[in-house]
Each structure stands twice: as C-alpha cells, then as structure tokens.
Amino acid sequence: MNWLNNLPLKRKLTLIILLTCSVVLLLACSVLAAYGLYDFRQAMVRDTTVLADVLAGNTRAALAFQDDNEARQTLQALESEPNVSAACLYTAKGNQFATYTRSGTKNIFPSQPAADGYRFERDHLVLFRPVMLDNRRIGTIFLQADLRGMYDRLRLFSGIAILVLFGSFLVALAISAPLQRPISRPILALAETARLIAKNKDFTVRVPPQGRNETGLLTDAFNQLLVSIEERDKALRTTNESLKTEIAERKGVEQKLQDQLSRLGLLHQITRATSERQDLQSIFQVVIRSLEDNLPVDFGCICLYDPATHMLTVAKVGIHSETLAMELVTNNQARVEIDQNGLAQCISGRLVYESDLSRLPFPFPQRLVQGGLHSLVAAPLGVESKVFGVLLAARKQPNGFSSGECEFIRQLSEHVGLAAHQAQLYEALQQAYDDLRQTQQAVMQQERLKALGQMASGITHDINNAISPVMLYTDWLLEHEQNLSPRARDHLATIQHAIEDVAHTVSRMREFYRQPETQLTLSPVKLNQLMQQVIDLSRARWSDMPQQRGVFIKMETDLASDLPIVLGIESEIREALVNLIFNAVDAMPEGGTLTLRTKVSKTTPPLVHVEVSDTGVGMDEDIRRRCLEPFFTTKGERGTGLGLAMVYGIVQRHGADIEIDSATGKGTTMRLIFQVPVTAPVETNKPETAFVIPARLQILVVDDDPLLIKSLRDTLETDGHFVVTANGGREGIEAFRAAHADNKPFAIVITDLGMPYVDGRHVAEAVKKMSPVTPVVMLTGWGQRLMAEGDIPPHVDRVLNKPPKLRDLREALVQCMQSAKS
C-alpha cells in the first residue's frame, strides 16, 4: 500500500471513489449473475420436467400398446423445442422404446434409464421421469436439454455487466473529480503553502480560509501557527542581527586588544633587546629590525639630528629597507635636509603622521613616493625635550598606520631615545672613569718618582764610584793585554757592554725625577735584530743557570717579519728587554716557556708591539698595579726593585707605552708599544710576505649589516672565492644546515658577533655542532677587548677586528685553512 500513500491526494481520492464503485458494482453484478444463473437453471429444470411429463402423458398409450411409431412421432414434436437435444422412451423393463435426436446432433442414449430426477452435466441437463398409467409405471422418459442457452445468457449477462461497469466507471470518474475537490483543494492549498514556506523561508504567506469544517479548522490552525512562527522568526532575526553587530564589535575590540598586546609584546622585546646593548648602532639595528619584522613596516630607518647644520644623518636603515633605501639614497650616512616638511615638526618634538605622502610637494616625501611608500610616521628620538634623532617608519599603502600603531611608534621612539641616551651616558661615564684612573695613576707615579729620584741620585754616585775601576780595568785589559785568549776577550767585551749598561742605568737613575729630554738623539732601531742580541746576552741567565738547578726554560721567538723600524736608543731598549727577560725567568722557578714576540698592531696609526711572555706564577691585580714602582719587589733580598722602574723610565723617554697582561698562575706578558715614525725611516720595511691566496673556497658570510656583507662579498669574490651571504644568524644557520645536508658544506664561516635574535656565538656553536672541522672566523668591533680579556668565544677559531683589513683576512683564511688541514 506504499504506492497508495505516495500518490497525490487528488488521484488518491479519485482512485478510492473509483475502486469503491467498481468493487460494489462488481459484487452486485456477480450476485445478480449468480442468482440469474441459479434461477435460469431452476426454470430450465422446471420447464424440462413439465415437458417430460407432458411427453410421458402423450406417449403412455403408445408405450402401453407398444406402438413405437406412434411414440417416435410424438417425440418428434420436440423439434419445436430447440433446447432439447435428445429424448428417449424406455419400457418398464428398461428397454429403449423410442428415441429422438435433434437433427445435426449425435447422441448415445443410456442403455438403461437412471433413477428419476435430473442432473447437470457439462453441456446439458439430463432428466429422467416416470411414465405412469393409472398409478402404474409403464416406462421412463429421458430428456437431454442443451445448456448452450444458459451459457449464452450468461455471456450476454457478463457483457452487460462489463458495459455497466465501464459506464459506471466513467460516470464515477466524471463525478469524482468535482466530488473530491472539496476535500483535496484545502489540503492541497495547505501543502502548497507549506512547500512555499519551506522553499522561500517566507512566513508571511497565508492559506486562504476554507470555511467551518475540519479542513477549515486545520487551515485556521495552520495560519495561526504561521503567525506565531513569523513573529518568532522576526524576533529571532532581530536578536540575530543585534548579536551579529555585537560580535562584530567585540571582534573589533578583541582585534584591537590583540594588536595592542602584540605591540606591547614587541615593545617589551625591543626594550629588552636594547637594554642588553650599549652601543648606539646595535641598539638602532635591533629597533629597526624588530619594527620591520614584527610591526611590520616596509621601510624603517633612524636618523640622527645635527643641530649645528640642521640636517638629519641616516644612522641605520633596516635590512629590508635597504634596497628601497638605495633607491632613495637614504642609506646609512646619507643626509636628509630638514625642509618645511613634517620633519621640522618632528624635530620640534612631535610625532608626525603623513597618511598620504603624494600630497606633499617637498623633496623628501617625493623621494619616498618614488620608492613606492605612501604613508609615513616620523617619531622624534629625544631625552628631556631635546631631540637628537628621528625614527622613520613607512608603508607602501596610503593610510597605512592605525592610531594604535602611531601610538606604539611614539612609545617606541621614547624608549629608543631613552636607551640611546643611556648608551651615550654609559659611554661618557666609561670614558670619564678611564680618564680619572689614568690621571690618578699618573699623579701617584709622579709623586713617588719625585721622592725616589732624590734618593737615587745619592745611590748613583756611590755606584758610579764603585764601577769606575771595573770600567777602567776592563778597557785597559782589552787595549793592552795582547795575549788574551779569544774566549777571555769575548767575555771581557760582554763585561764591557754590561758595564756600559750599568753606567747608563745609573746615569739614568738621576733622571727619574728629571723631565724626559726631548732632545734625545733617536736612531732607527731594528727591534727583531735587537731581540736576537738580547737572547744571546741573557743566555746565561735563562739557560745555563736554571739548568744547574735542574730547571728547563724553553725560549721561543715569534717575530713579525714585516716589522717597521722604530726610532729609539738601542742600548736603552736592550737594557729594558734584558730586564724583562730576567723578570720572566724569575717568575718561572719551576721552568716554562719564555716567548719573545714582535708584531704590528691593527690600529691606525699602526703601533709596534714588543712582548716578553712567560708561563710563570703571574701577578695579582695589586702587584700588577704596583710593579712599576721603584724598589717594589716580590723577590725579597734578591731583588732591588729597580728593574721595572727602569724599564718604565726608558719607555717613557721613548714616548712609548707599557702594558702588562697577567693573572695569578697564568703567566705574564709585558708589552712595550712603540710608535711607528710618520715619515718612513731610512731603512724601509721589508716587502710584505706574499700571501698564498687560498684555493677557491666556499665561504658563508653571516652578518646583519648589509653594507659589510656587500663589501665582504665583493672582496672575497675578487679573490676567487664562492660566497654565500646570510642575513642574520638564523638565516645563516639555516643556510649552513641546508648546504651541509646537500653535502656541499662551506669551507669556512665568517660571522659577525653582534646580531639581533641569534648572535655570532650561536652561529659558531651551531656550525661546530654540525661540522667541528669547519673554521669559524668572528668579525667584531670588540676584537681587542675580547683578546685582552682572553675571552675568545668558544667554537671560534679566529677573531678579527673591524674594520678587517684584506691582509688580515687573507692571513686569517690561510691560517685557519692550514690549521683545519693539520
């Protein structure tokens, strides 16, 4: 019955009506037909019985008198009864007496009559009746009636029934359409309305009213339902709208808060980063880099303001802004004129936001516009209302900055101002402190020497007296005693040198309190040569004497091959060096290594360093500070306390300087620093040792300073190397890792020390972790300080000072590659 359920209502109703009518009609017709058939049969039986009885009456005489002709003639009368197809007369004994067969039919009669009565066979009715004569049975009559008539009638009846059925079906069909309409129309209207509502979600539709019956009630209820749904829908929509608005507002607020938070985080990050740095350049660099990466901006730069010229000098341009800056020619050190644009306002201490630069006719904004930048924020960098610089942030799109971002930049600029100011203060403080200490030391020295000088003059006199005979006899012996063995003569010469030195020394004793004579006759001195002399001169002291005690001192020399010639008094310098060697030997009672070194400093103008280093007991800070004082000794009875004091005097007379690197147990390095004469002395420097330019190397250069990267790349590529540059530490590590993974590792890594986020130490560590043999050269402006403090970072093979000289760079590469090979 599913298909019935799925039928449309109209058709369903029609179908029900038609089905009902048809079934009832069919039932009625069937009953009528059955009854008709039954009646027909009864009538037939009746008629045939009557006929048989009449025939029996008419033929009894013939039967009684055995006149079969007569009987046959009587039976022949059946011709007029078309239903009867056969008849037969039997005698009382059951013999056939007379028969009748309808012409055209063929019959076999029963040979014996059956019991009286009738029965229906397939095609006919068979009837047996007695033939009576005066209550006596004299025979039996048999009749056979054809049922064709009955069947004809049945067929006719069926035809009529079908016609009636068909007709009534048509009539029902015709009538059902208008009849089912009152039921189906309202329901269909309901269904159509429901469909429309479901389709259009329009609850304002109503079903037309249908009167006061059940469907009418249903329609009314449906309409009422619609009214309430519509109201609810409306209310829901209103609520939804207001909710949406609220959500949008909240989202906006949340977004603002989020922005604020992220900017706060950025500010915090920048502030922390700046607080870790104390030089302006790196502070600026961190600020610009963070701005570019995290706000972000398309262009960031910091300019310093020079009130004297009323100009801005670009101090730092962000790495991403570099190309842009190149186009704008506002790269580092470029100058920007302060015209009547917003920069003037900014210099006066106000934050300036230009939302559309193309509207401004001044040259600087126009330059920015040419560079594709359309909105600009300029924030003053200042301390206590004194502006010393400007922070510029620009974006490509007009109106690129929100008020929150402007405020952020303003706050940032204040922080940067403060940090910069602090850095400046720190620098000044450091300078002042250093000055103060030097002054203090100088004053103390002066006071002591003054007192000591007076005392020394007396002593000098005594000593000069005492050594005079030695001098005299030695000279005499050398001049007059011809039979001296060459060895004796040699020893005497040494004694003569020594005595001369003593005399010099003593003569200088007086000069402790004397101002250094500027009129000293200085001659060119080859320090390397002098070094060899000194080693020979003091051999007894550092080699023979310790060996007698079973102590071994190893003498090493590290002499710079291209050492410039300095101006000085050879004997004095020799004396000072011998003194230093004696001290070094004394500092190594258990033996050790004594190193004599000469080298040229990287500074401009270059200085010549002469170093005497031992691996002995070293000095603590107190001793180190006082060791130059006369009569200060750590050697007890053996020491005079004059050695280093004399050295100091000699050094001062040469306008040179002395440095002492020492720590307890770490040995001592005494460094004499001579100035190289501005005009080259008569003997020029030896030609520079030709450096073997290293083979074509794959070099990774990591720096956050684009200009340095560029200069390094240019220089190294000129030398034939293959250079990969990385902007910042993280990128550098990634580049190295990628190359390492590709099995094309870099031969050497040159990295900057100070970089934001990931500095040179991390880069070196990462590189060594991946490939321990790859040399790492660190470039830094702090190189000297690092070396002085013995603070060469771990994982770094070589530290080079900024600015690196090509020569140093080559040397470093050669050395690193050699050590890497070994």
Closest CB 60 distance from another protein, rounded Å = 7
Closest CB 133 distance from another protein, rounded Å = 6
Query: Do residues 800 and 786 touch, judged by C-beta distance below 8 A?
Result: no
The residue among 134 and 517 lying less far from another protein, judged by its C-beta, is 134
The residue among 67 and 570 lying less far from another protein, judged by its C-beta, is 67
Query: Do residues 494 and 539 touch, judged by C-beta distance below 8 A?
Result: no
Give the binding-site size for another protein (rule: CB under 8 A): 15
| Options 58-66, 247-255, 347-355, 555-563: segment touching another protein (CB under 8 A) | 58-66
Query: Do residues 658 and 577 touch, judged by C-beta distance below 8 A?
Result: no
Q: Does 47 bind another protein (CB under 8 A)?
A: no
Closest CA to 764 of 800, 730, 796: 796
Q: Does 629 bind another protein (CB under 8 A)?
A: no
| Options 127-135, 478-486, 631-639, 726-734: segment touching another protein (CB under 8 A) | 127-135
Q: Does 66 bind another protein (CB under 8 A)?
A: yes
Closest CA to 767 of 783, 751, 780, 790: 751
Closest CB 130 distance from another protein, rounded Å = 16
133-192: contacts with another protein (CB under 8 A): 133-136
Q: Which of 58, 366, 593, 685 binds another protein (CB under 8 A)?
A: 58
Q: Does 122 bind another protein (CB under 8 A)?
A: no
Task: Read off the tokens for 140.
Answer: 């039996």
The residue among 106 and 487 lying less far from another protein, judged by its C-beta, is 106
Compute the distance between CA of residue 757 and CA of residue 276 in angstroms, rounded to an integer: 12
Q: Does 54 bind another protein (CB under 8 A)?
A: no
Residue with tokens 């003498």: 555
The residue among 68 and 233 lying less far from another protein, judged by its C-beta, is 68
Closest CB 97 distance from another protein, rounded Å = 14
Query: Do residues 511 and 456 touch, judged by C-beta distance below 8 A?
Result: no
The residue among 62 and 709 lying less far from another protein, judged by its C-beta, is 62
Compute the distance between CA of residue 47 and CA of residue 645 in angstroms, rounded to an integer: 178
CA angle centred on 20, ends 14 and 21, rounded to 5°: 90
Q: Which of 62, 286, 565, 716 binds another protein (CB under 8 A)?
A: 62
Q: Does 695 bind another protein (CB under 8 A)?
A: no
Q: What amino acid occupies position 680?
A: A
**Going by C-beta distance under 8 Å and a sequence separation of 6 or more, which residues neighbour residue 519?**
none
The CB density around residue 821, as the number of other CB atoms within 10 Å, is: 7
Q: Does 121 bind another protein (CB under 8 A)?
A: no
Closest CB 132 distance from another protein, rounded Å = 11
Task: Read off the tokens for 324.
Answer: 């842009």
Q: Does 204 bind another protein (CB under 8 A)?
A: no
The residue among 26 and 61 lying less far from another protein, judged by its C-beta, is 61
| Options 131-139, 233-241, 355-363, 664-672: segment touching another protein (CB under 8 A) | 131-139
Q: Which of 7, 9, 61, 792 binds another protein (CB under 8 A)?
A: 61
Compute the distance between CA of residue 744 and CA of residue 736 in angstroms, rounded to an integer: 9
Per-residue x/- track, 93-112, another protein (CB under 8 A): ---------------x--x-
The residue among 135 and 403 lying less far from another protein, judged by its C-beta, is 135
DSSP single-letter state for residue 660: E
Q: Which letter, b or e, does each residue of 296-335 get, where b requires 16 or more Cβ atoms within 10 Å of its Cβ? A: ebbbbbbbbbeeeeeebbbbbbbbbbbebbeebebbbebe
**Chain-centroid distance, C-alpha 445:** 62
| Options 63-71, 139-147, 459-467, 622-630: segment touching another protein (CB under 8 A) | 63-71
Q: Does 124 bind another protein (CB under 8 A)?
A: no
The residue among 3 and 65 lying less far from another protein, judged by its C-beta, is 65
Query: Do residues 291 and 431 touch, judged by C-beta distance below 8 A?
Result: no
| Options 53-61, 559-567, 573-581, 640-648: segment touching another protein (CB under 8 A) | 53-61
The residue among 93 and 487 lying less far from another protein, judged by its C-beta, is 93
**Going by C-beta distance under 8 Å and a sequence separation of 6 or more, which residues neighbour residue 531?**
557, 559, 577, 596, 598, 610
**Going by C-beta distance under 8 Å and a sequence separation of 6 or more, which residues neighbour residue 576?**
646, 647, 650, 651, 672
User: Which residues form the interface with another protein (CB under 8 A)?
Assistant: 58, 60-62, 64-67, 70, 108, 111, 133-136
